[in-house]
Structure 1
Amino acid sequence: MRQWLAFIPLFCCFAISHVGVVQAAQLTVELPDGVHIWDTAQLLKHPQAQQIQITEDVSYKRAMTYRAVPMAALLGGITAKDHLQAVATDGFAAEMPAGPLLESTGARAWLAIEDPTAPWPTLGENQQSPGPFYLVWTEPKAGNISPEQWPFAVNKVRILASVAERFPMMLPDRALAANDPINQGFALFQKNCLACHRLNGAGDSQLGPDLNQPHSPIEYFAGDYLKRYIRDPQSLRQWPQAKMPAISTAVLSDGELDQLIGYLRHMAQRRTAASTL
């Protein structure tokens, strides 16, 4: 879970200064047919690049206008069944099913490109802008798009095996039914937590702490304090550099929060067995 006033990115190396003069950057996209590298100028002049209006921008908390390219235009050879990861320069790694990124109606994904000659505003004092590349959505509510699916400061996008295939140590007990609330909690963990956190030592993010090693938060948050922390971290642990965002009921309903915590409680019992799963 990442703070939307301070971070989010996507794949390969690029050089940019978020404070001061914005420089041209590179985006690396790894597809089935090989590695594709796009620079800022190429993306700004892309045949499908256009001005788009975002009515409720997740990072700026207001309406924004961007020059952007449909994500589908950059994902040739990808199918709806594929799994992608967007990697940010701060260690944020968003796991994303490809299907929603390929849609051309309803919730539609776009890669917003920051023009070095017209840099975007910063996200606050001593903060960066979301550039040089920022994955934004038009009509996000139509696809139940969560804040974790708005990665910014993106420098890489790649096709990968699913989370379950790459990290079996995160899996709940295989004896559980597919629709068991614990498995549903695992799906919610992937969507809302995995971009910042690891579990049982597994995961690609370098941003937040592991949520099961050496201890699970369900073991050191008494009563309903874990729920309170997820809903409003600053109400329990307040400090200026905090990055954990508040997760509202609009993002994670009370029932879904119960399922997520149920998954964490279940995995707290599978810590020592993780290496043999």
Structure 2
Amino acid sequence: MYSDVFDVSDAMKKIVKIAAGFALCCASLGIGIQAFADAPALVVKSSDGERSFTASELLGRPDNKRVNLTGTVSGDIYRHEVEYRAVPVLALLGNHPEAHFDTVEVQATDGFVSEIPLTLVQRGAKNGAIAWLAVEDPAHPWPALPKETASAGPFYLIWQFPERSGVSREQWPYKVARISLAESPDHRWPQLAVPAAFAGDAGVKRGHDVFVVQCIACHKMNGGGAGNVGPDLGQPMNVTQYFKDAGLRALIRDPHKVRTWPEQRMIGFGPSVIPDADIEALLKYLHAMASAKQ
């Protein structure tokens, strides 16, 4: 009996040594076992239903590739300094989206929600910009973001050849938590639509489109939208009722020159991101929304 106990004890010692050796190996490679266990999963709502993917699952897919953005005109947060491992966004969305889904909604953990036209993603199969979901490898984490301690991971939507399709900076969401096929913003939130009294105004219509691409990721309009980073621009008061146009133009270009506080997150939009003509159209849309509300 005593010899059996000693045999079990010796076996347990061997198991402990093996486990310790594995932990030491992981530590030497910069891999924390807990990091793998605690890593958040990505939720994808596609034509095939809703499922979750861990980073290890995505990195193990056969369509996972190394993507280098060097040489492209891009909105990459790391300015081409990182070579990504990524999977095609189209593959995650499924091959046959239902007809009423025309938008890819990408939600980030910080409240940023990008509404990307599905046609923009689909153009990647027809010589357009190619959308990839970059996956951060816990063994080789990406650099920390400017003025932050965390990286853009664990998931980041990036584009190859963005200039082919006019991809905007706000269509590069990082810290992604969820990707969903959805209906258009106007369909889900009718309060975003151009007011009937301005239906024939091309400038107001253009301003609406600028709002949906550049602003809705962070701001709601009269409660419409999913972003929670910045304030609603339509309620309780429309932003044009407490900002002059000159102030709004300056705020869009360089918000830190207009007002600043420790938790400020809005960054400026240069002319290459929002041309002057688009800012004027955006102001027309905001004024039209204020007029309709009154």
When normalised by structure 2's length, the TM-score is: 0.80
CA displacement at 1:181 relative to structure 2: 1.3
Percent identity of equivalent pairs: 37
CA displacement at 1:176 relative to structure 2: 3.8
Match status 1:248 vs 2:270: yes
Q: Deviations over 1:61-110 (max 9, x none)?
A: 34321001111111112379721211111111111111121213331110
Q: 2:198·2:288 contact (CA, 8 Å) conserved in 1?
A: no
Q: 1:106·1:139 contact (CA, 8 Å) conserved in 2?
A: yes
Distance 1:34 1:223 in 2: 45
**Equivalent residue for 2:82?**
64
SS of the residue 2:116 aligns to = strand
**Equivalent residue for 1:213?**
235
Of structures 1 and 2, the one with the larger relative CO (CA 8 A, separation 6+) is 1
Match status 1:225 vs 2:240: no
Aligned residues: 253
When normalised by structure 1's length, the TM-score is: 0.85
Moved over 4 A (4+): 20-23
Q: Which of 100, 117, 138 is the equivalent residue of 2:120?
A: 100
SS of the residue 2:68 aligns to = strand
Larger helix proportion, structure 1 or 2? 2
CA displacement at 1:175 relative to structure 2: 4.8
CA RMSD of aligned residues (A): 2.1
Q: Deviations over 1:112-134 (max 9, x none)?
A: 00001111110134332110000
SS of the residue 1:64 aligns to = coil
SS of the residue 1:116 aligns to = coil
1:93 aligned partner, one-letter code: V
Match status 1:269 vs 2:269: no
Q: 2:218·2:228 contact (CA, 8 Å) conserved in 1?
A: yes
Distance 1:179 1:220 in 2: 24
1:78 aligned partner, one-letter code: P
CA displacement at 1:200 relative to structure 2: 0.7
2:112 aligned partner, one-letter code: F
Match status 1:90 vs 2:110: yes
**Equivalent residue for 1:47?**
62
**Equivalent residue for 1:181?**
203
Distance 1:236 1:43 in 2: 43
Match status 1:73 vs 2:88: no
**Equivalent residue for 1:26?**
41
Q: 1:78·1:98 contact (CA, 8 Å) conserved in 2?
A: no
SS of the residue 2:83 aligns to = strand
What aligned pairs does 1:53-202 form with structure 2 within 5 A after superposition? 53-55=68-70, 56-76=74-94, 77-78=96-97, 82-102=102-122, 103-104=124-125, 105-177=127-199, 180-202=202-224
Distance 1:179 1:258 in 2: 13
2:277 aligned partner, one-letter code: G
SS of the residue 1:183 aligns to = helix
Q: Which of 251, 259, 265 is the equivalent residue of 1:237?
A: 259
2:191 aligned partner, one-letter code: M
SS of the residue 1:111 aligns to = strand
Distance 2:179 2:147 in 1: 29
Q: Which range is displaced more, 88-97 or 177-186?
A: 177-186
